[in-house]
Amino acid sequence: MKQIIQIALIGLLVFMLISIRVFIQPYFYDPLIEYFKMDYLSKPIPEMNLKVFFLNIFYRYSLNSAISLAIIYLGFKNLKSIKFSFKIYVIAFVILCAILFILLNFSLNLDYKLIFYGRRFLIHPILLLVLLPAFYYQKLKSKNNNQNC
């Protein structure tokens, strides 16, 4: 019974991630959404308020990260995994925001793909898709090591 509740909670959290993508997206300030839907190769990046843009990126990243950390916790019940994941999320946020800020602020021969994918890594829970299999593999590996001893 406990495992059914755990799976249901993980399902609810995944639904929350999907909801952020589908329903809450219009409430976040992101002029690049429409820009990348248009012919972005022939048009300049639209004027935007970078402070508001990065604040909204931070809000969305924080929501996605909190839900992702909850999924990792429910899946593995290991505080070391949560601490490691939290550090990865913070480091990734700082590095990706710095790269995105430099690309948007100092139009140095803009590489639109870097802007597109940097922003995408920040607004979607892509790190969860990397961390879940990594922790599962680690769990299997440690289980096999314990059986061999």
48-78 pLDDT tens trace: 888 888 898 899 999 999 999 999 999 998 8
- 42 has a pLDDT exceeding 70: no
| Amino acid 144: pLDDT | 80
CB 96 within 8 A of CB 118: yes
Of 10 and 139, the structure prediction assigns the larger pLDDT to 10
Question: Token digits for 87?
Answer: 């550090």
pTM of the model: 0.84
Q: What is the dihedral of CA 5, 7, 8, 14, to 10 degrees?
A: 150
| Amino acid 149: pLDDT | 59
Question: Token digits for 146?
Answer: 């314990």
Which of helix, strand or coil describes residue 105?
Answer: helix
Other CB atoms within a 10 A radius of the CB of residue 27 amount to: 10
d(Cα 84, Cα 54) in Å, to the nearest integer? Answer: 24
Q: What is the dihedral of CA 76, 79, 80, 81, to 10 degrees?
A: 40
| Amino acid 97: pLDDT | 92
CB 127 within 8 A of CB 92: yes
Q: Which of 19-33, 57-71, 104-118 has the highest mean predicted lDDT (pLDDT)?
A: 57-71
User: 92-131: b or e for each residue (b if 16 or more CB lie within 10 Å)?
Assistant: bbeebbebbeebbeeeeeeeeeebeebbebbbbbebbeeb
